[in-house]
Structure 1
Amino acid sequence: MMKRSGTPRPDPAAFILANLPISPVPAIPEILLHTAGPASGLWRLAGRGETNPAPYWAYPWAGGAVLARHLLDRPKMVAGRRVVDLGAGSGLVAIAAAKAGAAAVTAVDVDTNAIAAIGLNAAVNGVNILVVAADIIEAPPPEETDILVVGDLFYDPALALRVMAFLRRCQASGIEVLIGDPHRAYLPQKELQRIATHAVPDFGGGRGDDPVQAGVFSLVSNS
């Protein structure tokens, strides 16, 4: 008897267009995103089990939302500068940087579904973003980068250590680092300086549209 093969995964872009409606981000109405809902059937695209990356890209998380709000309110922080969004997810922060007038924006993520979502979300918002599918945090700091933005990457202890080491290397190479986070468990607060606080949604964190007080942080100097 022939073994029945599993159901093939759908094309990410086609699935997102068909199942994730476009809506404004709560507290950031300037930006529209394809966002998953209860009936999206996201598991058909994201898969199930430990080997499949969690679909973080399908929801606005507070760490990204607070950075997006901050950059849109203070466009001089990125205007004319080259921006890299690490762990970009939906592309929310990258889109905000582009809308704020960044000279160039690169969005980096390891999830190929996120890469598809970023391209679609950039198109919806009328901005140009270079999308890179890679894990760069063990690599040298990205070249031709003025500012690195990091939203909500301190939810796992091992990942937090790797990310922080990479951010320190970026800082040492002259790249400005901005972190957005709603005080996840592994945020290294003693190594950070709070710049601002904004009330933003944490839909991806299971709180729906209820706002949380999330922070924007820079790195404390090692010198």
Structure 2
Amino acid sequence: TLGILPAQTPGSFLDPEMRAFLEENTEVSSSGHLTPEIRLRLLTPRCRFWQERADLWPYGDPFWAIYWPGGQALSRYILDNPDAVRTGSVLDLGSGCGATAIAAVMSGASQVLANDIDPIAGMAMVLNCELNNVKPFPILTKNIIDTELDNWDLIVLGDMFYDEQLANSLHPWLRKCSRTHGTKVLIGDPGRPQFLGHRIHGKLHKVVEYSLPESTRQENNGLTSSIVWSYQP
């Protein structure tokens, strides 16, 4: 649990109008990513809003509709190394499409909580759980950085170090989670300059590096690989 912060049940995201919009304006995809065994509703070149004016999109920026390379690496690692999560509790921070949380469920985690500040991401996660025949996990659509957490065995976060202010908030919070509860932390990132140049980088141990599929490279300005890091404060 998160103590004073109750997670929403999956059913609370099932707004019929929103569901219909997401199903109409995303495409089910499993190819071109590091995890072909996970199917996701994503924004692809065949979708209307790939070319449409951004201001016509009726919700917040759909970051959840992209399978970002850091999340791909984390999900691949968890699927290949189920012992990293099996029978443990996993918090997926900045979950987006929910792929890493889904990978944790598939790999036998006993408790999974997905967190993203965008409530539309919560709807997308419910749809993606359905696509993969995974029982939906609790979802929390609030900013929990700097809050007091209960003891999670593992926190996973991908592609969260794109903004200096966010990174500066994440570092001390992750350090506190790790030192207070012994929580393990895995970070996925393709080597963005904001991440490589941040002071947290000196506290990381490289776990595994994956070569990115060509389509993911094209969507991410030519970045060629994505790395899973273990945070060791």
How does the TM-score come out when normalised to structure 2?
0.80
Question: What code does the residue aligned with 1:130 have?
Answer: P
CA shift for structure 1 position 53: 4.1
For structure 1, list consecutive stretches of 5 or more residues without a partner in the other structure.
Answer: 1-9
Secondary structure (helix, strand or coil) at the match of 1:177 reads strand
Q: Which moved more, 1:156-165 or 1:87-96?
A: 156-165
CA shift for structure 1 position 48: 3.6
CA shift for structure 1 position 41: 3.8
CA deviation vs aligned residue, 1:166-220 (integer Å, no higher than 9, x gap):
2111111221100000111221322211111112348677537x77211111112
Q: In the alignment, does 2:44 pair up with 1:14?
A: no
CA deviation vs aligned residue, 1:109-142 (integer Å, no higher than 9, x gap):
001111110111011111131111110002112x
Write 1 or 2 for the structure with the bigger share of strand. 1
Report what 1:196 is aligned to.
208
CA distance in structure 1 between the aligned counterparts of 2:101 and 2:143, rounded to whole angstroms: 17
Report what 2:173 is aligned to.
166
CA distance in structure 1 between the aligned counterparts of 2:18 and 2:214, rounded to whole angstroms: 24
Question: What code does the residue aligned with 2:24 have?
Answer: A
Secondary structure (helix, strand or coil) at the match of 2:40 reads strand
Secondary structure (helix, strand or coil) at the match of 1:119 reads helix
CA distance in structure 2 between the aligned counterparts of 1:65 and 1:88, rounded to whole angstroms: 11
Question: What code does the residue aligned with 1:218 have?
Answer: S
Report what 1:184 is aligned to.
192
Q: Which moved more, 1:16-25 or 1:130-139?
A: 16-25
Secondary structure (helix, strand or coil) at the match of 2:134 reads coil
How does the TM-score come out when normalised to structure 1?
0.84
Q: Which moved more, 1:182-191 or 1:65-74?
A: 182-191
CA shift for structure 1 position 13: 2.0
Residue pair 2:190, 2:223 contacting (<8 A) in 1 also:
no
Write 1 or 2 for the structure with the bigger share of helix. 2
Report what 1:7 is aligned to.
none
Secondary structure (helix, strand or coil) at the match of 1:110 reads coil
Secondary structure (helix, strand or coil) at the match of 1:30 reads coil
Q: In the alignment, does 2:222 pair up with 1:214?
A: no
What percent of counterpart residues are identical? 34
CA distance in structure 2 between the aligned counterparts of 1:137 and 1:53, rounded to whole angstroms: 20
CA shift for structure 1 position 40: 2.8
Number of equivalent positions: 208
CA shift for structure 1 position 54: 2.6
- RMSD (Å) for aligned C-alpha atoms: 2.7
